[in-house]
């Protein structure tokens, strides 16, 4: 496995592979890798000749500077895991090389629409930062496809819109959320939960599952189901931002006739903000 922090070296290797007729599957990450990330790498191996993984904690997508500073750095362990999983190249740029014009001078990509609801409403500027970093990474790596987890479901849709907006010849593949035994969605943020918080954290999944059961049994009182879930989360010690039953294509509020629904939730437990979703 090759590890490049310099942009030019990484580009040269990817260019060499493409010239040899090899396809590239790309897995962008912010490090602190867990089994969910590694499952994306395994999927990438089955879809292309070469697998490139990036590890870059993007400052532009953190609306809370303190959250950025607290993001875990486990690079040595991440590289070992990726080598064991079989990645071909790991790209680990620093912010000064990635944003040579300076973070504050970066012209960010505003996609509008879906970026202003749910996570976008609670984290202003987040999706502009995501779109900006992903577009730069796509331009540098020039992959055949890119693999993303569905835990960040709204982000997945935003990236698909990004590809469409710029007519990028990249297939964006979403992979199901990886979960712990108790249902908690795997996330790098879980490492920051206290022992007591970790014991409660799966409640967010249980509330989503309870709504799914109600919906599949014919209950269409969406507002009542959302409010009940929020109340249950509060009783369990969470501070919910939202629980929303949405159209899985548009993320607009679901209607009785909506065929494909998804339930999305975000809530703080202590200082840690957790998100999750469940398709219906």
Task: Provide the annotated active-site residues.
Answer: 37
What is the separation of C-alpha 206 from the centre of its chain, rounded to a whole number of angstroms?
A: 21
* Stated length of the chain: 280
Between CA 93 and CA 7 the distance in angstroms is 7
Cα-based distances in Å from 131 to 90, 112, 190 = 21, 11, 24
Please give the span between the terminal C-alpha atoms of the chain, in angstroms, as a whole number: 39
Residues in CB range of 89: below 8 A, 6 or more apart: 1, 2, 3, 4, 10, 13, 14, 50, 51, 52, 53
Between CA 113 and CA 171 the distance in angstroms is 22
Contact between residue 49 and residue 26 where contact means Cβ atoms under 8 Å apart: no
């Amino acid at each position: 496995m090759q590890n490049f922090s310099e942009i030019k070296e990484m580009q040269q290797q990817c260019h060499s592979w493409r010239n040899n007729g090899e396809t590239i599957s790309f897995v962008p990450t912010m490090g602190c890798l867990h089994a969910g990330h590694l499952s994306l790498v395994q999927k990438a191996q089955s879809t292309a000749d070469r697998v490139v993984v990036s590890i870059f904690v993007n400052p532009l997508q953190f609306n809370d500077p303190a959250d950025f500073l607290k993001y875990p750095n486990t690079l040595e362990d991440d590289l070992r895991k990726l080598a064991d999983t079989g990645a071909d190249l790991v790209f680990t740029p620093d912010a000064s090389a990635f944003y040579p014009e300076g973070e504050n001078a970066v012209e960010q990509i505003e996609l509008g629409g879906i970026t202003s609801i749910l996570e976008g409403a609670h984290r202003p500027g987040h999706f502009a930062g995501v779109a900006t970093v992903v577009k730069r990474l796509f331009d540098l790596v020039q992959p055949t496809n890119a693999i993303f987890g569905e835990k960040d479901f709204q982000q997945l849709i935003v990236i698909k819109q990004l590809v469409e907006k710029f007519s990028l010849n990249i297939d964006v593949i979403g992979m199901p959320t990886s979960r712990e035994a108790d249902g908690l969605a795997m996330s790098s943020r879980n490492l920051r939960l206290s022992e007591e918080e970790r014991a409660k954290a799966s409640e967010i999944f249980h509330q989503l599952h309870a709504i799914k059961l109600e919906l599949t049994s014919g209950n269409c009182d969406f507002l009542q189901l959302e409010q009940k879930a929020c109340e249950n989360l509060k009783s369990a010690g969470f501070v919910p931002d939202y629980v929303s039953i949405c159209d899985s294509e548009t993320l607009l509020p679901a209607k009785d006739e909506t065929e494909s629904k998804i339930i999305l939730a975000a809530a703080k437990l202590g200082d840690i903000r957790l998100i999750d979703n469940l398709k219906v």
